[in-house]
Amino acid sequence: MNNHLIFQKIIKREISSNILYQDQIVTAFEDINPKAPIHILIVPNDFIKTANDINQKNQNIIAHMFCIAIKMAKEKKISKDGYKIIINCNKNGGQEINYLHMHLLGGIKLKTLY
């Protein structure tokens, strides 16, 4: 099974997930393997494989993903203390599912990678 199908099934509500936000452009839901007390994934409803596949045609989707991440950070009350927004790209960048997605992490002091 292609690993990107799991996100498509969540978006279509064919499998159970704790969806926190959904509109015509994106879906946001809790990560099933959280790395922080708050760990939300924000995915475009239309399939984009990786960050390398962002182009002029779909660039507005990325801006919307950031807006929803900020909205979620405020709703989860982590916007003042701080949070991370991460997009991994391909295997060496840590992307495990071949479907563009943004991680919103917070609720604790997060370490940097460098």
Taking only the tens place, the pLDDT of each residue in 3-12 is: 768 999 999 9
Tell me which of 4, 39, 64, 101 is the catalytic residue. 101
- For residue 17, give the CATH number of its domain: 3.30.428.10
Q: Is 101 a catalytic residue?
A: yes
What's the CA gap between 12 and 112, in Å, rounded? 34
Task: Answer for the pair 90, 52: CB distance below 8 angstroms, yes or no.
Answer: yes
Would 113 be classed as within a structural domain?
A: no
What's the CA gap between 25 and 7, in Å, rounded? 14
Would 30 be classed as within a structural domain?
A: yes
Q: What confidence score (pLDDT) does residue 114 get?
A: 58
Q: What confidence score (pLDDT) does residue 66 get?
A: 97
The residues near 41 (Cβ < 8 Å, ≥ 6 apart) are: 28, 29, 30, 31, 101, 102, 103, 104
Would 25 be classed as within a structural domain?
A: yes
Categorize the per-residue pLDDT at 1 as very low, low, confident or very high, splitting at 50, 70 and 90. Answer: very low
Task: Answer for the pair 87, 49: CB distance below 8 angstroms, yes or no.
Answer: no
Taking only the tens place, the pLDDT of each residue in 81-94 is: 999 999 999 999 99
pTM flag (> 0.95) = no
Would 112 be classed as within a structural domain?
A: no
Question: What total number of domains does the chain contain?
Answer: 1
Res. 73: pLDDT tops 60: yes
What domain range is 58 assigned to? 5-106
Taking only the tens place, the pLDDT of each residue in 26-61 is: 999 999 999 999 999 999 999 999 999 999 999 999
What's the CA gap between 49 and 67, in Å, rounded? 20
Q: Virtual CA dihedral for 76, 12, 62, 56, nearest 10 degrees?
A: -170
Partnered with residue 19 across adjacent β-strands are: 29
